[in-house]
Structure 1
Amino acid sequence: MSVFTRSRAGKALGGIAVVAVSAVLLAGCAGGGTTTTPSESSAPAEDLTLKIGSVLPQTGSLAFLGPPEEAGVLLAVNEVNEAAKGITVDFTPGDSGDADNKAFETTVPKLQNAGVSAMIGAAASGVTKLFLDSNVAAGIITFSPANTSPDFTTWEDDNLYWRTAPSDLLQGEVLGNLVAEDGHKNIGIIYQNDAYGTGLFGVVKEVFESTGGTVVAEASYNDGDSSFDAQVATVAASNPDAIVLITFDQFATIAPLLVNAGQSAENFYLVDGNLKQWGADVSVSLEGAKGTTPGPVLEDDFKERLNAAWVDGGSTDLEDFSYAAESYDAVILLALASLAAGSATGPDIATKLQEVSGGSGEGTTCTSFAECADIILEGGVADYDGYSGPVTFDDAGDPTEASIGIFQFGADNMHERVETR
């Protein structure tokens, strides 16, 4: 498990040397935040109703992440409500789409008008940036299970932005080192020109070059583009020995173009934005290709519960579980913070999020909503350790502990986890 620390008051770190230099780092919990001692905690005078909405990708270039994320939210909502611990979650789902189809422009105002205290989402960093300030102005928490742009660490968010996914300063470091460890010396990078793509591109490039490697070609495209011939030609002309692809589902178009240009797919490196079970959806063999995505190995019982919650809603079985744990934990943390604050308003909940994650340095460790809720109701401080990890928020609303999975594709264009860092 990799551990890292950020500060809401600090500036974005310019060099990768400030980030972890290996996948196993010294643990450090951030101080600061609002600290409440057990004697100060109290149960709400009456049952709370917490109104939450989701802004997750039902359509658009990250739609493959929608089902596991929505399943995580649904399961958490069900379990909070079934626990009957003095708080009920009133949940309204919504589509984020992407920066191209802009479904969030309908969803976000609808949820704001419905009086939600928090929104789970978006998945894409670039989409969240387009509505975050509006939520801040409305006093609504934006809690993303999948945003990884480093920009959010220093965003002026009035303590109303939180995430259970780690900054790409971590994923980029792991990926850059992985490419080097596999013996590659000269690489090409194709990346999406948005907050997610440029941030991850910068870290991968810096880390890979710090190992003595060279980025011999780089090419970007914009979300919504449908032609990638120029980018492929630029990278292929440099004859790299590996190619890093920081894309969303545009990968399905780009990969065959690269193979047709003489590049070997076994030397492709993918990221969380395109690391899906491609199967027949990609027309060339991806056997040997690797990729990274944040998140730990999930317990079978948890995956079964996720799938059951999803199928009960009328959907087919989940094929992917990316960011499901982060989505589940986001809802649990919001419910616990609401209970600890004795309030269902966004700003009040935000004052307790760091505390219930263990980020204040106090509390009794607990691993389920019901267990943590009992601690709070008895006047104690709960420290929730979730399925995505211990979380342990720092002052910036970033998790200080996270895992990065390394995956490899087989002959069927389906991937399996081969390592966790």
Structure 2
Amino acid sequence: MSVFTSKRARKVLGGIAVVSASAMILAGCSGGTTDEGSEPSAPTDREDLTLSIGTVLPQTGQLAYLGPPEEAGVGLAVAEINAADMGITVEVEYGDSGDPDNKAFETTVPRLIDSGVSALIGAASSGVTKLFLDEAVSAGVITFSPANTSPDFTDWPDENLYWRTAPSDLLQGEVLASEIGLDGYANLGIIYLNDAYGSGLEASLTENFEAGGGTVVASEAYNANDTSFDAQVSTILAQNPDAIAVIGFEETSTIVPAFISNGFDGSKFYFVDGNTQQWGENMPVSIEGSKGTQPGPVLADDFQQRLIDQWQEQSGEELEDFNYAAESYDAVVLLALASLVANSTEGADIAGALQEVSGGSGDGEKCDSFEACAQIILDGGTADYDGYSGAITFDDNGDPTEATIGVFQYGADNTHERIN
């Protein structure tokens, strides 16, 4: 197996970055390529399949703002797969993941497993997934996250049952470090949530920023239930940072004002996917000029409109964010395509075909919709799905080897627009 890793973002203080932070691409390939002329893997004798999936996505908790776009992505994929009528019907049951504090997943996951689902879509939080992943693996159920970014999952003993369409934070850390360097900052302070997500991203950001010539002058952790951050704020500000990276979730709206009330400039913050949200009035101070990163390419206008319409139908509400909607949509499409290849709805059988339908193995024909890919499979060929979240291309660990990280900047109303 040949492994290609991303180019290291490098910054020369006062100079030019070698790699642009606008879209860091991770390209790779894996073993298991089908030889030319070999028989396609798709079976010839078929029965219509009914694939049952469940969601473990945040309806409550610190990441509840991610629930609507993720559930909209799932719902849209299910609707479009079923409308295509290509020999597979997907049934979905929605459930709440909550967070490590309210532990809604402790009720949701057993309920979904007992109902006979082949796959769980979720969780959004890496910390939550860690708490139920072994339970799902023991049950032979796939866990497919659209948003987990912790590097810890790459080597998890998951029996090939864990997959994700979100890239590891090793990549996001490179892009964020490069962006901070390109903006001319040499001395960085970091405050981060002390969990799998926060500590992994902090480590990647620190490594890449310092490899590019910068200095992390202070890095302070906090715990999920903390309500006061005065100690961390004082320690970081004592080191006179040029910029501050905040790695966390909803508590960001308390952390940032604590820095600003002590004289730090509100335009010099950097956020990550967990807190690069449309803060608006929920952020009580101005963060105009601050930036953040989120995985995912620019979404096509027609896809956004389909998501908006789908969420209106599902919930009767307006969809205001699109975070991880594409990754959620693609997760469902990939599961359905793999089920078609395997001619099975058993978790292990589906998992055995996921790398192939992503283009990570086999010599597949490119296709960019469920219907087009399904037709290739039904005709006896090998499909290579490129989705709304990117080319994906799974490696042997179930990680996408191709990804794009967007850079966003906040305006006067504390909402952001994509700038790269």
Number of aligned residues: 407
Whole-Å separation in 1 of the counterparts to 2:259 and 2:274: 18
Match runs of 1:187-226 below 5 Å = 187-226=188-227
Query: Residue 13 of structure 2 aligns with which residue?
Result: none
Counterpart for residue 32 of structure 1: 32
The one-letter code sitting in structure 2 at the alignment partner of 1:28 is G
Post-superposition CA distance 1:243-289 (Å, at most 9, x none)? 00001111011111110011111100000000000000010001000
Structure 1 gaps, min length 5: 7-12
- Taking the aligned partners of 1:320 and 1:295, their CA distance within structure 2 comes to 13
How far residue 192 of structure 1 moved from its aligned partner, in angstroms, is 0.4
Quote the residue 1:267 is aligned against. Answer: 268
Distance 1:5 1:167, change over 3 A: farther
User: In the alignment, what sits opposite 1:345?
Assistant: 346
Cα distance in 2 for residues equivalent to 1:91 and 1:365: 27
TM-aligned CA distance change 1:298 to 1:43, over 3 Å: farther
Instruction: Report if aligned partners of 1:32, 1:360 keep a CA contact under 8 Å in 2.
Output: yes
Give yes or no for the alignment of 1:324 onto 2:325.
yes
2:232 aligns with 231
- Offset at 1:39? 3.5
Query: Percent identity, aligned pairs only?
Result: 64
Q: Offset of 1:34 from its aligned partner?
A: 8.7
Instruction: Give the superposition deviation at 1:206.
Output: 0.9
Structure 2 partner of 1:108: 109
The within-5 A match list for 1:10-409 is 22=19, 27-32=27-32, 37-43=38-44, 45-409=46-410
RMSD: 2.0
CA deviations 1:353-407 (Å, max 9, x no partner) are 0001111141111111111111111111111110000111111101111000000
Letter in 2 for 1:22: V
Maintained 8 Å contact 2:146/2:324: yes
SS of 1:266's equivalent in the other structure is: coil
Moved more, 42-51 or 215-224: 42-51
Question: 2:243 & 2:330 partners in 1: Cα distance?
Answer: 36
Q: Which runs of 5+ in 2 are unaligned?
A: 10-17
Q: Matches of 1:16 and 1:160 in 2, distance apart?
A: 30
Secondary structure (helix, strand or coil) at the match of 1:325 reads: helix
Equivalent residues of 2:41, 2:341 under 8 A apart: no
Contact 1:329 1:387 in 2 (8 A): yes
* Residue pair 1:218, 1:235 contacting (<8 A) in 2 also: yes
CA distance in 2, matches of 1:408, 1:250: 19
Contact 2:34 2:363 in 1 (8 A): no
Q: Residues 26 and 158 of structure 1: is their aligned pair in 2 closer, same or farther, counting only changes over 3 Å?
A: closer
- TM (norm. structure 1) is 0.93
2-structure distance, mates of 1:142, 1:25: 25
Q: Which amino acid aligns with 2:117?
A: V
Read off the aligned partner of 2:193 and give its amino acid letter: Q
Post-superposition CA distance 1:27-83 (Å, at most 9, x none): 432223899955342255211111100000111111111111110000001111111
